[in-house]
Chain A
Amino acid sequence: MQNPIQLIGRATLGLFSEIGRLAVFAGRVKGAALTPRWYGGEILRQMVRIGFYSLPVVGLAAVFIGAALALNIYEGGSRYGAEQFVPSIVVLGITRELGVVITGLMLAGRVSAGIAAEIGAMRVTEQIDALETLSASRYRYLYAPRFIAALITLPVLVALADIIGVMGGWLVSVYGLDFDSTVYLRNTLDFVTTNDILAGLIKAVVFGGVIAIMGCYQGDRSQAGATGVGRAATLSMVGAAVLILAFNYVMSTLFVEIGL
């Protein structure tokens, strides 16, 4: 048996080399995304797949989160007679944190795992080798389009999630908690600032990158067989979710620091 120190040492080394490999991979994808040639058709196809087909899950998640948030703030606020803050806290919570985090986490499952499974299957059926022998780089043809599409579509999805989330809070407040509809909406719009929205959208771009890169990375490394592909999907989902939460915290701290 290994002693605990060895075990911890090995795990730490493993973690650092994994981070290193991921960083090198991300650098290559970024390089391919920033230089010609671009496969426009592929980028469009991925935008539809990542963006358009994610609308239902993102919308549903946002409406429920907004509704639950309004309910809880009302309950908590009423202890201090502060019910009137429901609209402002809902819109702040949604735009800065919940809209973007929920969208990111849903897409870590739907999109990142999907990309990993797809690329993994292409890897084990030699389609990636075939691509390279046909003189098309997998970074340019497969990974960069997914990366670019995620960077573009995530902010759009998050903007929609913000609106739908606020509507969820409004629904509960107006139909369940006796708020006046016009007053609720006016309070929301008066309170929210461009910075609140911007903070969420900047996070969205970063999360989009994380989701695409994690999916491509795990798929690219996928081992042969159905278990290998399944494992790639799981690893990418878990990895993307953890990175999203960690980056979210770091960025929130940073935004507070610089007053965004």
Chain B
Amino acid sequence: MTHPLLRLEGVEKTFGRNQVLRGVDIDVARGQSLVIIGGSGSGKSVMLKTALGLMTPDKGTIFFDGDDVTQATGKAREKMRARIGMLFQSGALFDSLTVWENVAFRLINSEGMRRKDAKERAIETLKKVRLGPDVGALYPAEISGGMQKRVSLARSIISEPDLIFFDEPTTGLDPITADAINDLILEMVRGLGAAAVTITHDMASARKIADEIAMLYEGQIIWRGPAKDVYASGNEYVDQFVNGRAEGPIQPAL
């Protein structure tokens, strides 16, 4: 039997009294595009950060490509991270570096590529996210939010990862820019044959990019199914969320 590319088993994470993840079980197959939906503060970002090893889960196991990486350090951790790209919710571009240096960061600082070659690769990758070479010389503070998301996207795909995490890639963007980002994500994922885990509350975006959709609620995955079934899930929590109703079993977080 082939194993999934990424698999979380019974992952729990608590901050003080705040029990954020209460036993998350989820897996992602190679080349699959999985979208995770869930309310603000439900722990979606924390889930991605535990999967990446930026936070250590209190309980549970994380497998990457069949290996237990829950406590991985040093070389093992680096080997795993070299195969994963991450687009952070805030973009998280290094503001002391120019756009091209951001995009080429992994090549220069982890893989030891020469700056000249790395710059060429960065400019090529920027072209894939529809940004011209002139943008490369600017600093992140000098470009718009939508452009920053695209730069961040370019940075996460430059070394052609097997798995990419997108944390709310379209939040805070106007609908047209958001749709352009969706197209880019689809293009990148299909083009690279990479698996993708995308967090979003944007249902238009979810339906467009997902093969499957899963919902995180109260620290657990309460539903998972093909994207086309999300409006006929038969789950009242999912129904309330995807239709954006204030009335229902989920209390609005006010």
A residues engaging B (CB < 8 A)?
39, 122, 125-127, 129-136, 141
Does B95 sit within 8 A of A, measured CB to CB?
yes
Known: A39-B109, A122-B94, A133-B52. 14 other contacts (CB 8 A): A125-B92, A126-B88, A126-B89, A127-B93, A127-B95, A129-B54, A130-B86, A130-B88, A130-B94, A133-B81, A133-B86, A134-B106, A135-B82, A135-B106
Please determine whether A129 and B82 come into contact, CB atoms closer than 8 angstroms.
no
Chain A nearest Cβ from B52, distance in angstroms: 6
With CB as the reference atom, state the residue of chain A lying closest to B107.
A134
Does B236 sit within 8 A of A, measured CB to CB?
no
With CB as the reference atom, state the residue of chain B lying closest to A137.
B78
A122 — which chain B residues lie within 8 A by C-beta?
94
Chain A nearest Cβ from B205, distance in angstroms: 21
CA distance A133 to B105 in the complex (A): 11
Please determine whether A129 and B88 come into contact, CB atoms closer than 8 angstroms.
yes
Please determine whether B78 and A135 come into contact, CB atoms closer than 8 angstroms.
yes
CA distance A129 to B106 in the complex (A): 13
The 6 A-B residue pairs with the shortest CB-CB distance, nearest first, are: A135-B110, A130-B92, A126-B92, A134-B106, A133-B86, A126-B88
> Per-residue 0/1 for B58-100: is the Cβ within 8 Å of any A Cβ (1 yes, 0 no)?
0000000000000000000010011011101110111100000
CA distance A134 to B157 in the complex (A): 11
CA distance A227 to B86 in the complex (A): 28
A132 and B54 in contact, given A125-B90, A125-B92, A126-B92 (Cβ under 8 angstroms): yes
Number of A-B pairs whose CB atoms are under 8 Å?
46
B residues engaging A (CB < 8 A)?
49, 52, 54, 78, 81-82, 84-86, 88-90, 92-95, 105-106, 109-110, 155
A129 and B109 in contact, given A135-B78, A135-B81 (Cβ under 8 angstroms): no
B93 — which chain A residues lie within 8 A by C-beta?
127, 130
Chain A nearest Cβ from B102, distance in angstroms: 9
Q: What are 11 inter-chain pairs, A to B, with CB distance below 8 A?
A: A125-B90, A125-B92, A126-B88, A127-B92, A127-B95, A129-B92, A130-B86, A133-B81, A134-B105, A134-B109, A136-B109
A136: contacting residue among B52, B89, B110, CB under 8 A: B110
With CB as the reference atom, state the residue of chain B lying closest to A124.
B90
A127 — which chain B residues lie within 8 A by C-beta?
92-95
With CB as the reference atom, state the residue of chain B lying closest to A140.
B109
CA distance A178 to B249 in the complex (A): 89
A126 — which chain B residues lie within 8 A by C-beta?
88-90, 92
B94 — which chain A residues lie within 8 A by C-beta?
122, 127, 130-131
With CB as the reference atom, state the residue of chain A lying closest to B89.
A126
CA distance A133 to B78 in the complex (A): 8
A125 — which chain B residues lie within 8 A by C-beta?
90, 92
CA distance A135 to B81 in the complex (A): 6
CA distance A231 to B132 in the complex (A): 40
CA distance A141 to B86 in the complex (A): 19
Please determine whether B84 and A133 come into contact, CB atoms closer than 8 angstroms.
yes
Please determine whether A141 and B92 come into contact, CB atoms closer than 8 angstroms.
no
A136 — which chain B residues lie within 8 A by C-beta?
105-106, 109-110
B81 — which chain A residues lie within 8 A by C-beta?
132-135
B52 — which chain A residues lie within 8 A by C-beta?
133
B82 — which chain A residues lie within 8 A by C-beta?
135
CA distance A133 to B84 in the complex (A): 8
A141 and B109 in contact, given A133-B54, A133-B81 (Cβ under 8 angstroms): yes
With CB as the reference atom, state the residue of chain A lying closest to B167.
A126
Scoring B52, B94, B95, B109 by chain A CB atoms within 10 A of each residue's CB, the highest score goes to B109
